Amino acid sequence: LLSVMGGGYRGLLGTRDWLYARGVLRSRALGCPVISVGNVTVGGTGKTPAVELAVQTLLELGQRPVIVSRGYGRRSGGIQIVADTASIRLDAEDAGDEPFLLARRLPGVPVVVGGNRYDAAQRAVDRFGVTAIVLDDGFQHRTLRKDLEIVMVRAVNPWGNGRLLPAGPLREPLAALRKADLVVATGVAGPDQLGQVTAAVRQHALDVPVLGAAY
């Protein structure tokens, strides 16, 4: 039954890709760099610390970044300002756990949540005058045109049983890796643990570099 449901999920993904490929649905640009940090599986792959590192790097480069997230599991609706340049404005229940954590870890950096990433990012640009946008969990979201697509994976058993939701952990087929600009395999003890990730990337996205990362 789960495999049949996974087939239906694959069909929905294919329909969405078809609509974007033919211009029925479109990604829109905002005029400033957009860095997306996401994954192709459910579960922890290190997205939140990677977002934090991306923001810290942008700050060191003299940029004014904002974090834009869906705010999974939050109690609030619509577009919400979790934190502005002065303070945190929402609690974890209304912000979502990850946006709230990022707001605490990165004081002075605006954090905005919203289901539509383009609208949420536009709100941040209009309100805070930011010069760069970091999307938390942005790989599957295409309303906003992205300049750098970073995909986080687990180095050990990265794809589970290799099946799509709900029969397995994959949010997209592995062929979606071709959309990535960089793949980061987390939790590695050495380069010998990159084999599974590197093999999949070489099969589906030959020119995409793979990095190993440790916490």
Q: Which long-range contacts (CB under 8 A, 24 or more apart) does 160-169 make?
A: 160/41, 163/2, 163/3, 163/6, 164/6, 164/7, 164/9, 164/10, 165/6, 165/9, 165/42, 166/2, 166/5, 166/6, 166/9, 167/2, 167/3, 167/5, 167/6, 168/6, 169/41, 169/42, 169/43
pLDDT mean over 75-88:
96
- Residue 206 has phi, psi (to 5 degrees) of -55, -40
- What percentage of the chain exceeds 90 in pLDDT? 80
Q: What is the pLDDT of residue 4?
A: 64
Which pLDDT band, with edges at 50, 70 and 90, does 24 fall under? confident
Q: What is the pLDDT of residue 15?
A: 83
- Residue 211 has phi, psi (to 5 degrees) of -115, 150
- What percentage of the chain exceeds 70 in pLDDT? 98
pLDDT at 2 over 70: no
The more confidently predicted of residues 63 and 167 is 63
pLDDT at 94 over 70: yes
pLDDT at 191 over 80: no
Which pLDDT band, with edges at 50, 70 and 90, does 138 fall under? very high
Chain mean pLDDT for the chain: 93
Q: What is the pLDDT of residue 133?
A: 98
- For 27-48, letters b (16+ CB in 10 Å) and e give eeeeebebbbbbbbbeeebbbb
Q: What is the pLDDT of residue 156?
A: 92
